[in-house]
Structure 1
Amino acid sequence: MTLTQDAAARDLTLPSGRQIRYYEVGEATATPVVLLHGSGPGATGWSNFSGNIEHIAAAGFHVVAPDMPGWGDSSAVATKDMDHDVDLLELLDTLGFEKAALVGNSMGAHTAVRFATLHPDRISHLVTMGASLGKSFPRSLFGPADGPSEGLKVLVKAYRDPSPENMRALVEIMTFDKARFATPELIRARSDAASARPDHLRNYVEGLADGAPIPFPVDRSLIPSIDVPALIIHGRDDRVLHFETSLWLTTHIADSRLVLLNRCGHWAMIEHADEFNRLVVDFLRASAGSNRPGPSDN
């Protein structure tokens, strides 16, 4: 049976008092995998990972995909008050996860990398897609010399006005094969989801001066200290964040490997869902050592 959004949806209150909506599938005793969405308008744990949650859970993992505060059906939060590291730590504690594999797209990848540097005892594996390091990244060699990329400009425009027209432009620039993925259904769903939370839209736009959507930097000097297995995935045709960020991460994380996908934009988990699911499941299983529990250890 195909998993539905309503069937997977859960809600909880963090110790901070913030409300979190998350999507959960899998046996409670299985190895936890947390999927972290990106920063686009209308982005949620479900919209980013609906094609991955059930598959990864079926491979023997306990999958959780939260809407981070400031997105989806979770609490609104101003950019200046945002700290996804604290939110994620409280989520793991509340769910009783001693450790979890973190799988992040774009902003979610930034959150996962930062968390790995600050809480190395709470992460078992690191997977990034279309990774962003925000202002922590050295001066770009291949992206814009200064200012946002083409894709980020379109993203901000859609935050200011989440009309179907602007959402179409956003989905088209996020994907390589826009004829296949920029469907009326997806465009309308993203537009409706964004418009349903004007507080999130307003906070994002007002927070641009404070560094939205990533006001909390990664300390680049700590990235070489990451000692968990890392899988770095990036689309060769990403027009939002250039794959040089992933090359840099692979260079500086010792136990890492890079998969660069041709004919792929910023949403590898959507455009190449079958390959993405296979890569993640195989990676989690293969790198589950004696001190890093995998599904067989539960």
Structure 2
Amino acid sequence: MSVRSGDVAVSVRGQELTFRLHESGERGGEAILFLHGSGPGATGLSNWERVIADLGDRYWCLAPDQIGFGDSTHPLDPPRGMAPFNELRAEALLALVDELGLERVHLVGNSMGGQLALIMALDRPGLAATMLLMGSGGAPDLPASPGLTHLRSFYADPTAASLEGLLTEFVYDVDSLKGTVDRVVGERMAYVERDDVRRSHEASFDMAPPRRFFTPEELATIDVDVLCVHGREDRIIPVEASRYFAEHLPNADLYVLGQCGHWTQIEHPEAFERLLVGLVDGHR
């Protein structure tokens, strides 16, 4: 199934923001919103291109570049810190689903995207039909991994070699995915070198504001079916994060993939798609 891309404008906090939206499948069908993670040069396509191409014959697949990423709007004066910036991103995503006429949608979030899915579900109960959280951030009391520290400080050395080193920390079997990593490095460097992308990255990873963690009390209010997916060898966000979410989300299951790092959907795409289809179709 081919992937098509276009722009969708929304109004948030009195300003117009534009999403670059990548999609597949028939508009008006069962909708899945794919939320990519953070990192230098990250986009909806670099995270989700294969998945949405594969599943477009079953669902209406939507994979926007988040605000502050890729070819979506980069605010001139962005919120400082991941938590404040993610609140803006979540508001914009809610405006996007309204613009698309979606009353309910399946939410799939990778890393930072998992945090956005949780914020959306908390801010608008009833929106999420199901949720798949893959290597999600937002769990408390976990130390920052070397890979996450490298990601946050990337612009101290914003080179292709540094980006390649960072992305090899995302995967378990570097040798088998060398071609994929090289391709993603090439795609992302075109964004990394842009001033607006750097501005958004540095605002997101301003460590001065308090970080946003999800409490057991908050998670207990999200009563939809949730699947927490995590690579056992994840060197960016440890598997304990998904164990935390699976423990406190009332209708959550946990699936841990062996010989897998932070990019489940890229390292084991068939298994990831099978899990997602089971979740979405099982909900029906």
Answer whether TM exceeds 0.5 for this pair: yes
Question: Could you report, residue by residue, the CA deviation over 1:8-39 in whole angstroms, capped at 9, with x for unpaired residues?
Answer: 11101112200110101111221110000000
Match of 1:199 in 2: 196
What is the count of residue pairs matched by the alignment?
272
Spell out the pairing of 1:128-139 with structure 2 (5 A cutoff).
128-133=133-138, 137-139=139-141
Match of 1:104 in 2: 109
**CA–CA separation in structure 2 for the residues paired with 1:118 and 1:15:** 17
Does the Cα contact within 8 Å between 1:79 and 1:215 map onto a contact in 2? Answer: no
Match of 2:5 in 1: 9
How many angstroms does 1:230 deviate by? Answer: 0.5
Structure 1: stretches of 5+ with no match in the other structure: 289-298
Q: Which amino acid aligns with 2:50?
A: G
Q: Which amino acid aligns with 1:187?
A: V
Does the Cα contact within 8 Å between 1:79 and 1:211 map onto a contact in 2? Answer: no
**CA–CA separation in structure 2 for the residues paired with 1:56 and 1:79:** 34
**CA–CA separation in structure 2 for the residues paired with 1:126 and 1:104:** 8
Sort the Cα spacing of 1:93 and 1:242 in 2 relative to 1 into closer, same or farther, 3 A.
same
SS of the residue corresponding to residue 206 of structure 2 reads helix
**CA–CA separation in structure 1 for the residues paired with 2:247 and 2:37:** 23
Match of 1:186 in 2: 184
How many angstroms does 1:209 deviate by? Answer: 2.9
Does the Cα contact within 8 Å between 1:99 and 1:121 map onto a contact in 2? Answer: yes
Does the Cα contact within 8 Å between 1:37 and 1:105 map onto a contact in 2? Answer: yes
**CA–CA separation in structure 2 for the residues paired with 1:151 and 1:33:** 29
Match of 1:261 in 2: 257
SS of the residue corresponding to residue 169 of structure 2 reads helix
Question: Could you report, residue by residue, the CA deviation over 1:246-288 in whole angstroms, capped at 9, with x for unpaired residues?
Answer: 0011111121111100111101011111110111011110122
Match of 1:50 in 2: 49
**CA–CA separation in structure 2 for the residues paired with 1:169 and 1:202:** 22
Does the Cα contact within 8 Å between 1:25 and 1:53 map onto a contact in 2? Answer: yes
How many angstroms does 1:161 deviate by? Answer: 3.3
Match of 1:38 in 2: 37
Matching residue within 273, 278, 283 for 1:282:
278
Match of 1:24 in 2: 23
SS of the residue corresponding to residue 46 of structure 1 reads helix
How many angstroms does 1:219 deviate by? Answer: 4.8
Moved over 4 A (4+): 214-217
**CA–CA separation in structure 2 for the residues paired with 1:194 and 1:220:** 36
How many angstroms does 1:193 deviate by? Answer: 2.8
Identity %: 31
Match of 1:295 in 2: none
SS of the residue corresponding to residue 175 of structure 1 reads coil
Q: Which amino acid aligns with 1:274?
A: E
Match of 2:65 in 1: 67
How many angstroms does 1:56 deviate by? Answer: 1.9
Does the Cα contact within 8 Å between 1:157 and 1:166 map onto a contact in 2? Answer: no
Indicate whether 1:117 and 2:122 are aligned.
Answer: yes
The CA RMSD over aligned residues, in Å, is 1.9
